Chains A and B, each alone.
Chain A
Amino acid sequence: MYVPGRLRELIRTIRTARTQAEEREMIQKECAAIRSSFREEDNTYRCRNVAKLLYMHMLGYPAHFGQLECLKLIASQKFTDKRIGYLGAMLLLDERQDVHLLMTNCIKNDLNHSTQYVQGLALCTLGCMGSSEMCRDLAGEVEKLLKTSNSYLRKKAALCAVHVIRKVPELMEMFLPATKNLLNEKNHGVLHTSVVLLTEMCERSPDMLAHFRKLVPQLVRILKNLIMSGYSPEHDVSGISDPFLQVRILRLLRILGRNDDDSSEAMNDILAQVATNTETSKNVGNAILYETVLTIMDIKSESGLRVLAINILGRFLLNNDKNIRYVALTSLLKTVQTDHNAVQRHRSTIVDCLKDLDVSIKRRAMELSFALVNGNNVRGMMKELLYFLDSCEPEFKADCASGIFLAAEKYAPSKRWHIDTIMRVLTTAGSYVRDDAVPNLIQLITNSVEMHAYTVQRLYKAILGDYSQQPLVQVASWCIGEYGDLLVSGQCEEEEPIQVTEDEVLDILESILISNMSASVTRGYALTAIMKLSTRFTCTVNRIKKVVSIYGSSIDVELQQRAVEYNALFKKYDHMRPALLERMPVMEKVTTNGPTEIVQTNGETEPAVLETKPPPSGLQPAGGSMLNLQKSLCLDVMEMTSVMLRMVSRFCKSPDHYFFSAGIPSITAYNKNGLKIDFTFERSNTNPSVTVITIQASNSTELDMTDFVFQAAVPKTFQLQLLSPSSSVIPAFNSGTITQVIKVLNPQKVSDSENS
């Protein structure tokens, strides 16, 4: 009889394979043997075979044919079988396979087994991978075990309960009674898992949170005992007693103390004690301090305690251990808004962290630095951040550049400094600057009227040597186009004006146009700049005309269109040219506001506004306030328009369809909140491609609807004509209607999709 080889032998054999192919061959052979062994329903060696299968699975080979075998092992009475069976289930099965449900009954039996280690296996498996269905079926068993006096099982049941709650939150209530005495336990395992369970319940339910607040004194006591107690070899880590439990208690206290003055007060002393007495020479002490700081910052702690916390973070920053520094920066980032001044004190240390080797530390230091920039320190901080921009990894450059622009805009001490800073960013990290920065910068430059000459000069010098950085070149081209006259006339006040001729300027712009490195957008900027210079330069207008006419046959469609239009400007509309190309005025910052809703239909956007006047005070219309009515009307316009278009397209699509003779039946396109709009359709007598839609709007509310305006949009292939409405007021109580005629033309009679 073939006796399957042992697991260790298989492992040894596979490790002797010298190539991937050799390994694969061995594995395939073994898998085949295992498969036939499974087919023979061999009970004796099933365990060994599954164990081997699990090893091969870890190497990356498929093992799904062992899933059912795991279930058979779990059902076996042998402990060895169960051990491997449950392990296999956890490795090979999950809730996505229906087969996993077959485990439920076995687990249920094992949860009630006489041997605690079997019960332990079942609890562990349920707690690691139990699906929602399994959890629902077995929650009762778990709850029972949560009340057992066997601490080995109790701690596992607690974590199992946590998993059940995570999978099926509604079942949380049933575990409430069992939590009554959990914290009275002496066993650390049970204590720890109980705190985890309580934490989970409090995080998920405000009611539970309120209910468990009364535990604060007990938690404080337990924590105190841990700190004050003598050396306990079982739970000691570098002189600290059970740091895992300490941290979890601190976390639960955090959740309980949040937004609650009394609880926060009750834990004040213990927090101060932990913060001052914890040994900081090893990582474990710092782990506790870290959690303490997080708790202090999150609850309603008194200011003394908060300062203590920030100082701990400050000390962390100076620690040699990188992990500690990392953690400090993360926490400071969280508190910088609320405790800004306290964090400012550590600014220089934070800035030093910009030079750290670790990428995560650098990123946090950068974010924190930006958060700390204010009117007082902006010059110094920007210097450091610009230096950082120069030397940092590419992954940071875009964010850093954006950050510098934002900070400069907020805190620039002078316009000159602002322009210089922008220049520095553009020249240092010009290719990493985000696309949206370019229009912002252009606006900024336009609005700094007295700096125009200086700016254009600096930009010109910057691109003379190198015009590969697109955002820089775009901004520079635009400026040269606008202020080229200042450039050639040498009007700069801020620095030594340079001598440059009109031809030299055109040289550089033409180089940009020709260069392979220039993006299409950049070329567009350059061409427009050249065109603008035709009104600012005096001697080179002919050259400009020539350049423009050349690009009239460019393969780039965008450039071609521009060139053709500019050509036309030269030829037919030369009298308009100076006015069209004159200096840009100071731009308003664009803000979005107003009640306008944009209705999008097939790529066309038309604002569709239904305005209603607010009711006179004291009068409340039935069915909600006017403001809600307005909002809901706006949102429903989209719905209505799409309905209308669908009807129209169907009509236009099939002139020979029976609809043609019967006509489209009228529809109620909209009927909500008292406003009803009906559509009636007919074909135009003069032109069969035109559909005439008559809309009738009526109002059943108690108030007149005034300033009623109906607008609509159609797909690009259609044409729309809105005739004047009969009125702009829909009287209340259905006592009258507004009528409006809309004509829709479908010129090609092409069928549009039903969804238009």
Chain B
Amino acid sequence: TVRVSWPCGGCSGRLRQQTWKIHFILLFSRQGKLRLQKWYTTLPDKEKKKIVREIVQIILARHQKTSSFVDWKDLKLVYKRYASLYFCCAIEDQDNELLTLEVVHRYVELLDRYFGNVCELDIIFNFEKAYFILDEFIIGGEVQDTSKRSAVKAIEDSDMLQEVRLRKTKGKHLIFLHLPCLTGA
């Protein structure tokens, strides 16, 4: 519950040491199934599970006509639904919520650019790619690149790197497979 600070102390929102990083990002379906979880703070596994359960419950219960922001403990949850997936970001109380919505939107755009018309199934079956893309966009809870193109390009280049190495080891098998054809059988 939100602490009621009345009367307001007249502060301009400044705390002694302000960090603005994202604390964690969750992606989950409308049935509450987790599709991605990225934590930028250290917490025990049990604690993480508890938090995920709690937050999924809170957000799924939200009325459609409410704002995208929920006060939760000493953090703020910024969430938005894209088709069948909820994207939820936990930010500091003093952070810019409207910008966080843009951060979420940018991540969706990157996924869309990489997968081409991304849908939930893409993220289910290629969850590791979703993580790779996220890690090209955000490090330690802070945005690392603001260009739509370069994050996706980096992933595609990395994919190529995988392929090249893979092809190098697979090359032997290819030659082996060719042999039967040569005999005309």
Which residues of A sit under 8 angstroms from B178, Cβ to Cβ?
none
Judge if B147 is at the interface, Cβ distance under 8 Å. Answer: yes
Contact B19 A200 (CB under 8 A): yes
Most buried by A among B18, B36, B166: B18
B68 to chain A, nearest CB (A): 5
Per the bound structure, the CA–CA distance linking A297 and B148 in Å amounts to 32
Contact A298 B12 (CB under 8 A): yes
Partner of A160, one of B12, B19, B139: B139
Which residues of A sit under 8 angstroms from B69, Cβ to Cβ?
323, 326, 360
Judge if A192 is at the interface, Cβ distance under 8 Å. Answer: yes
Judge if A579 is at the interface, Cβ distance under 8 Å. Answer: no
B161 to chain A, nearest CB (A): 5
B172 to chain A, nearest CB (A): 13
Which residues of A sit under 8 angstroms from B96, Cβ to Cβ?
247, 287, 290-291, 294
B 44-76 binary contact with A (CB < 8 Å = 1; else 0):
100001000000000000010111111100000
Which residues of A sit under 8 angstroms from B144, Cβ to Cβ?
155-156, 159, 189, 192-193
Residues A525-582 near B (CB distance < 8 A): none
Per the bound structure, the CA–CA distance linking A264 and B16 in Å amounts to 20
Contact A283 B125 (CB under 8 A): no
Contact A298 B13 (CB under 8 A): yes
Judge if B101 is at the interface, Cβ distance under 8 Å. Answer: yes
Judge if B145 is at the interface, Cβ distance under 8 Å. Answer: yes
Partner of A203, one of B17, B67, B98, B162: B17
Contact B8 A291 (CB under 8 A): no
Contact B65 A283 (CB under 8 A): no
B33 to chain A, nearest CB (A): 8
Contact A117 B2 (CB under 8 A): no
Contact B148 A79 (CB under 8 A): no
Contact B98 A327 (CB under 8 A): yes
Judge if A403 is at the interface, Cβ distance under 8 Å. Answer: yes
Residues A328-373 near B (CB distance < 8 A): 333-338, 357-361, 363, 367, 370-371
Judge if A731 is at the interface, Cβ distance under 8 Å. Answer: no
24 interchain pairs, CB-CB under 8 A:
A12-B125, A59-B34, A79-B162, A83-B132, A87-B135, A117-B161, A127-B140, A156-B144, A159-B142, A159-B144, A192-B144, A200-B19, A235-B146, A235-B148, A284-B102, A294-B96, A323-B69, A324-B98, A333-B8, A336-B8, A337-B7, A338-B10, A367-B4, A371-B7
Judge if B42 is at the interface, Cβ distance under 8 Å. Answer: yes
Judge if B82 is at the interface, Cβ distance under 8 Å. Answer: no
Contact B44 A96 (CB under 8 A): yes
Which of B's residues lie within 8 Å of A, judged by CB?
Answer: 1-2, 4-14, 17-20, 34-37, 40, 42, 44, 49, 63, 65-71, 96-99, 101-103, 106, 124-125, 127-128, 131-132, 135, 139-140, 142-150, 154, 157-158, 161-162, 165-166
Per the bound structure, the CA–CA distance linking A251 and B63 in Å amounts to 33
Contact A287 B158 (CB under 8 A): no
Judge if A196 is at the interface, Cβ distance under 8 Å. Answer: yes
Which residues of B sit under 8 angstroms from A162, Cβ to Cβ?
140, 142
Contact B8 A283 (CB under 8 A): no
Q: A129-B42, A196-B142, A203-B19 are in contact. Are A234 and B9 (CB under 8 A)?
A: no
Contact B139 A127 (CB under 8 A): yes
Task: Give the residue name and chain of the A residue nearest to B18 (CB).
Answer: A203
Per the bound structure, the CA–CA distance linking A55 and B37 in Å amounts to 11
Which residues of B sit under 8 angstroms from A611, Cβ to Cβ?
none
Is chain A's binding surface mostly helix, strand, loop or mixed? helix
Task: Give the residue name and chain of the A residue nearest to B143 (CB).
Answer: A244
A513 to chain B, nearest CB (A): 35
Partner of A323, one of B12, B63, B97: B97
Which residues of A sit under 8 angstroms from B44, Cβ to Cβ?
96
Per the bound structure, the CA–CA distance linking A294 and B101 in Å amounts to 18
Per the bound structure, the CA–CA distance linking A51 and B126 in Å amounts to 10
Per the bound structure, the CA–CA distance linking A247 and B96 in Å amounts to 9
Q: For the complex of A and B, list the 10 residue pairs with the smallest distance between their C-beta atoms, beginning with the closest.
A: A337-B10, A287-B98, A189-B145, A322-B67, A358-B66, A159-B139, A163-B140, A287-B99, A127-B139, A127-B140
Judge if A188 is at the interface, Cβ distance under 8 Å. Answer: yes
Judge if A95 is at the interface, Cβ distance under 8 Å. Answer: yes
Per the bound structure, the CA–CA distance linking A87 and B36 in Å amounts to 12
Contact B127 A55 (CB under 8 A): yes
Task: Give the residue name and chain of the B residue nearest to A289 (CB).
Answer: B98
Per the bound structure, the CA–CA distance linking A273 and B66 in Å amounts to 32
Which residues of A sit under 8 angstroms from B71, Cβ to Cβ?
360, 363
Known: A160-B140, A287-B99, A326-B97. 14 other contacts (CB 8 A): A58-B127, A79-B158, A95-B42, A129-B42, A155-B144, A188-B147, A189-B144, A244-B102, A324-B98, A327-B98, A336-B8, A337-B9, A338-B12, A358-B67
Which residues of A sit under 8 angstroms from B131, Cβ to Cβ?
87
Q: A79-B158, A287-B102, A322-B67 are in contact. Are A403 and B140 (CB under 8 A)?
A: no
Contact A192 B143 (CB under 8 A): yes
Which residues of B sit under 8 angstroms from A367, Cβ to Cβ?
4-6, 8
Which residues of A sit under 8 angstroms from B2, Cβ to Cβ?
360, 363
Contact A192 B146 (CB under 8 A): yes
Contact A283 B102 (CB under 8 A): yes
Contact B40 A245 (CB under 8 A): no
Judge if A678 is at the interface, Cβ distance under 8 Å. Answer: no
Partner of B147, one of A123, A234, A297, A298: A234
Partner of B67, one of A83, A156, A245, A361: A361
Contact A242 B146 (CB under 8 A): yes
Task: Give the residue name and chain of the B residue nearest to A79 (CB).
Answer: B161
Contact B132 A152 (CB under 8 A): no
Partner of A192, one of B37, B145, B157: B145
A133 to chain B, nearest CB (A): 13
Which residues of A sit under 8 angstroms from B18, Cβ to Cβ?
203
Judge if A524 is at the interface, Cβ distance under 8 Å. Answer: no
Per the bound structure, the CA–CA distance linking A451 and B103 in Å amounts to 60
Contact A120 B102 (CB under 8 A): no
Per the bound structure, the CA–CA distance linking A287 and B101 in Å amounts to 9
A178 to chain B, nearest CB (A): 17
Judge if A314 is at the interface, Cβ distance under 8 Å. Answer: no
Contact B10 A234 (CB under 8 A): no
Partner of B128, one of A54, A115, A120: A54
Residues A381-416 near B (CB distance < 8 A): 395, 399, 403, 406
Contact B102 A234 (CB under 8 A): no
Residues A116-153 near B (CB distance < 8 A): 117, 120, 123-124, 127-129, 152
Per the bound structure, the CA–CA distance linking A324 and B49 in Å amounts to 32
Which residues of A sit under 8 angstroms from B103, Cβ to Cβ?
244
Which residues of A sit under 8 angstroms from B8, Cβ to Cβ?
333-334, 336-337, 367, 371
B114 to chain A, nearest CB (A): 15
